[in-house]
Amino acid sequence: MIKGNTVTCPGFYAPQGRVLRIPIRYPNLLEDLNYYNKGNFWLTNFEMETSAYYAFGRLLGHEVLSANAIIANRIKTKFSKDPQKIVDGLIKKVLDRI
């Protein structure tokens, strides 16, 4: 596992740079965030779901944990050849540790 800092981007299509019927407000969002750092703090992952998980968890009084299986590098346009293997491995690691 890689320790890192994840940015959760509310929404789905726009944070991935996908245009539907209206223009994207921040078309270079991922590229700009890719190079953000403050001292030794770097952003290492971008995803679109966790913000909703944490919001619903708080509303319902639950504790929430997020672990991300990295299956795509959109900046470099590289994608896993076996994403299911990566997801299954992460699930096993997390369950073994909790």
pLDDT in tens, 64-86: 988 888 888 877 888 999 999 99
C-alpha radius of gyration, the chain, whole number: 15
Q: What is the pLDDT of residue 84?
A: 96
pLDDT of residue 81: 95
What are the CA-CA distances from residue 97 to residues 46, 67, 90 (Å)? 24, 12, 11
Between 85 and 30, residue with greater pLDDT: 85
For 24-46, what is the mean pLDDT? 84
